[in-house]
Structure 1
Amino acid sequence: PSPDQIALRRDAMVKAVVADEVRIKAFEDGVASSGVLRSQVGLVVGKLSASSDRALVYSLLPTPPTDAGEPACSLRAAAPSAGKAKSKGGKGGAGASSDAPPTLQFDVDWVAEHARQASRMLLGGMSVIGIYIWSSEGSFKATPSAVLSQVIRVVSQSVPWYGSDFDERLLLHLSYSPRRWACRICEMASGSLRPCDFKYSKLLASLQTFRCTYNFETRLTVVQAEPFKKVISKAISHLTKEVQNAKALIDGDLFSDDMTITSEGPHEVDLLVPFKNNLPAGV
């Protein structure tokens, strides 16, 4: 990355996480009321932006059991210490190891697949921005940070953000013993985890709905040796830049950075695209 990009990333570091109070507290009460659930992993749905130092959390999505009925997150008993086992014998060593909290283990590929499918169904403006974990404080702290970072990295790779160099994702931990939230920011490049402030607000009530349809027509030359998805992506790649350079009319008014929209939606959006001077053949 260029020096300007590095400076942008430093300035855009997430310093606070704001979660929707109604949705997150309802989720917390629901998972706590089960009484028997000792560990769980799932996705954090919200919004991260390089232009803001706040991350917004709209909802949490539990990762369902695998096709074999196994949980995506489970507890693994701590291995007995070799020193204690030798000094106290078989039973003494087992007894000593029982004091150590179990660690968390994950079906990383399954969590990533859940993220891939969930991201396709999210509304515009919402993304999978990290993971959450429900467990005891002891199990969370006993799990190596490299294991936690790996889960976040694989999830991030499964739902890449087009055109975004943002290098951070969220790790939310809901502890049931003691019961409290903790938030950490995972930096993708290094895998490091750093603490972050966590607070509630009424987010969903302030969201606006915008509707826009962009029609286009193109002709494709399909080559059997090339995947069809890749053919389509190459054919419409120019449309991305076209839409990014377009001007937007919101309910008939030209959008500007200082525009304030307070009326209830949905709002209709029209795109004013540049003149098509250098389009590829067949469009």
Structure 2
Amino acid sequence: MHAVPILELMTHAYTPPSGMEYQSETDSDFTSYWRDWFIGTRGNEYFCEIDEEYLTDRFNLTGLQQEVQYYQYALDLVTDIFDFDCDEETREQIEKSARHLYGLVHARYIITTRGLAKMLEKYKKSDFGRCPRVLCRSHPLLPIGLTDVPALKAVKLFCAKCEDVYSPKSSRHSAIDGAYFGASFPHILFQVYPQLIPAKSNERHVPRCFGFKMHATAALARWQDAERDAQRKRLLEAGVEVIEEKDEEEDSEEEESEDELQVPGEQRQYCETPGGGRE
């Protein structure tokens, strides 16, 4: 493998992998650099462009060699110094590794000063979407990973107003690995830019039936009944005998019903028989 001269890079456009749509941010349908192609690809709108200086600093890539197959070839591709002089299958593997490598580096880059500034600009433009909760009034969202471990959870969207997470609307974004953004990114952003922290919304939806507020105690009672039934089911499945305890009100009602069955004040009359017995 040899490095491609810069003149050749400027005159030969990068060809995206087969089966992937390409959308250029410029008037041209082609781009000379892999990162430009990657950022311009539909579905990658959540990513920002990583500075070349950051990518070429080996300290920033510590520990990634064990995480990425064809690591060196993938890095050469991302930094535009790799010439595809290999078979189609190997080429596809290297391209896949390059995308994975870029995502892992991206998670580190966006918590740097430069990376936070780039993501802040996208946040201000609502590039990540807006909160679907009505009472948040279309507050902009930020991408977040539920875990920092790759290939476990897809990316989610965090709303700083209601402090909840949501799934992306587009299926293209739902397939992005959450580890490419990390679980700490939104919180670090608001630590660096505290003036962006929105006031917490105290508004809550009040359930009503024909204009009347639903009684909170009734909802609590329904929840308790459901939890009790679920616990009883778990115990039965585990082979534990469940003894039903009756409420005091039920016991008193049963005692009253038993008393009603007895005839009060009625005494039996006995008569002696010749044998000394009673009838």
TM interval, short-chain normalised: under 0.3
TM-score (norm: length of structure 1): 0.21
Please identify the structure whose Cα radius of gyration is greater. Answer: 2
Structure number with the bigger relative contact order (C-alpha 8 A, sep ≥ 6) is 1
Q: Is the helix fraction higher in 1 or 2?
A: 2
TM-score by length of 2: 0.22
